[in-house]
Amino acid sequence: MTDLRSSEIHDELEGDTLHEECGVFGILGHPDAATLTALGLHALQHRGQEAAGIVTTDGKQFYTEKRMGLVGDHYTDPATLAKLPGYISIGHTRYSTTGEVALRNVQPLFAELEVGGIAVAHNGNFTNGLTLRRQLIADGAICQSTSDTEVVLHLIARSKQASSSDRFIDAIRQMEGGYSMLAMTRTKLIAARDPIGIRPLVMGELDGKPIFCSETCALDIIGAKYIRDIENGEVVICEIQPDGSISVDARKPQSAQPERPCLFEYVYFARPDSVVAGRSVYVARKNMGVHLAEESPIDADVVVPVPDGGTPAALGYAQRSGIPFEYGIIRNHYVGRTFIEPTQQIRAFGVKLKHSANRAMIAGKRVVLVDDSIVRGTTSVKIVQMIRDAGAREVHLRVASPMIFHPDFYGIDTPDRDKLLANQHADLASMCRFIGADSLAFLSIDGLYRAVGGEPRNRQAPQFTDHYFTGDYPTRLLDQGASNNVRKLSVLASNG
């Protein structure tokens, strides 16, 4: 049954700013599988704060715990972890992109199938999820959630392949869009990445046991060794054998395409201490600041980051420009990422709770403010005013990414097109007036490419996924037809 309250909240969320993605973590063959998964999810908390879930198996039964809220609020309790015995585990931190914020959509999703139990955890979004879901429902499928991820379970159930891993591969070959997925059976841990590698996924090892997770920071927290990134279009199947040994089978079932990782992982999503597709996120962000200083210099007394996202770019800007870096804004770390608040009104309030001006570093100065991105402009308007109120003589805003014009359909929850600040102003001057800054500049798309990958954007074959800036969507968007709205999955479920 549709949870009306959740649907209403969702409608409000639709108009909000950029949202997180999800984080996945899995380990096979370790006696402390659940605890290690909880720690891994804790390191991936920045990728999704709505809910977290863990599924484990001891080879006989499956055990599931799913909770709304933060990892630390639930999975630090020994009683909760005691309900998750076994040596194979997958976990998920969720920020919803399809389906409402409700327990039934919290991942991992689990189903008992002809081939046995299987759990899946997904970071990303399927661009044909709604289309396939409608076909499945018309065919008699009974959907238990409104998440796009559930489609994969139905396709595994219907596959004619014999083994669970072949059925999983069969299922994901029918999916389009962005995904890093983990699946788990009584004996297997499977990892898969979409054909162009939009979402990140890495492989590690602890005590000889394989781990898959969204970012390397989840390996670091448990002292695991990084092995390699899962390649775009690759599926890696790890299986525990009766003698306790582990087999690893890497396959490439999708037709080969050039990799195009998501640029926004570097701009905003990934943790700065992570290494994504072989590149340090921190170094990339600092480089963004260096290029920004070269492209848009300004005479000023102090470079001030908008913490936390803008800090590495501000350091790069300060080093390149020679202008001193100072913490002119202090962030209250007991307030979560701003978007957690469901309404625009509360979000604006949240921004005030989160940042306060460090007057001693600002009063009487010409300030260069550096932030990583502007989405709706809520943060910029508040912060520029706050810096002026603290006595700044001039406020110059520098943004370490290009203007955002287009929504995402691959796992980032973006506001509607018309809510994006870049679409509300005819030119930079108008946007600058709205924000209230003395000057405003964005990093160019080539500057961003150079900062992350060392080369400018290849117009014929872009090296990264960058549609939010350019409108160049790397896959077809089957669900975005006139009559479709992936957000309305729960309405479909209640009326269908």
Ligand X SMILES: O=P(O)(O)OC[C@H]1O[C@H](OP(=O)(O)OP(=O)(O)O)[C@H](O)[C@@H]1O
Ligand Y SMILES: NC(=O)CC[C@H](N)C(=O)O
Please select the residue that binds ligand Y; options are 125, 127, 254, 378, rule is CB under 6 A.
Answer: 125
Q: Which stretch binds ligand Y (CB under 6 A): 121-129, 204-212, 277-285, 374-382?
A: 121-129
Contact flag: residue 96 with ligand Y (CB under 6 A): yes
Q: According to CB under 6 A, which residues from 27 to 56 bind ligand X?
A: none
Distance from C-alpha of 65 to C-alpha of 55, rounded to nearest angstrom? 7
Phi, psi (rounded to 5 degrees) for 205: -155, 140
Neighbouring C-alpha atoms within 13 Å toward the C-beta of 250 = 10
Nearer to ligand Y, 22 or 386 (CB): 22
Q: What is the DSSP letter of 104?
A: G
The question of whether 262 is a catalytic residue gets the answer no
Q: According to CB under 6 A, which residues from 56 to 85 bind ligand Y?
A: none
Question: What would the x/- binding string for ligand X be over residues 365 to 404, using CB under 6 A?
Answer: ------xxxxxxxxxx------------------------
Number of residues that bind ligand Y (CB under 6 A): 18
Distance from C-alpha of 308 to C-alpha of 312, rounded to nearest angstrom? 9
Contact flag: residue 49 with ligand Y (CB under 6 A): no
Contact flag: residue 166 with ligand X (CB under 6 A): no
Q: Which does 193 bind (CB under 5 to 8 A by kind): ligand X, ligand Y, none?
A: none
* Residue 402 preceded by cis peptide, ω within 30: no
Please select the residue that binds ligand Y; options are 98, 274, 373, 463, rule is CB under 6 A.
Answer: 98
- Shortest gap between Cβ of 95 and ligand Y (angstroms)? 5
The catalytic position among 22, 213, 217, 262 is: 22
- Shortest gap between Cβ of 90 and ligand X (angstroms)? 26
Q: What is the DSSP letter of 265?
A: I
Residue with tokens 């980051």: 305
- Tokens representing 298? 């300004």
- Shortest gap between Cβ of 147 and ligand X (angstroms)? 23
**CB 330, CB 311: distance < 8 Å:** no
- Shortest gap between Cβ of 96 and ligand Y (angstroms)? 4
Q: What is the DSSP letter of 465?
A: B
Residue with tokens 């992982």: 265
Please select the residue that binds ligand X; options are 295, 308, 394, 438, rule is CB under 6 A.
Answer: 308
Distance from C-alpha of 149 to C-alpha of 305, rounded to nearest angstrom? 37
**CB 217, CB 47: distance < 8 Å:** no
Cβ partners under 8 Å of residue 261, min gap 6: 197, 198, 200, 276, 277, 464, 465
Q: Which does 22 bind (CB under 5 to 8 A by kind): ligand X, ligand Y, none?
A: ligand Y
Active site residues: 22
**Residues at the contact surface with ligand Y, assessed by CB under 6 A:** 21-22, 94-99, 105, 107, 122-125, 147-149, 411
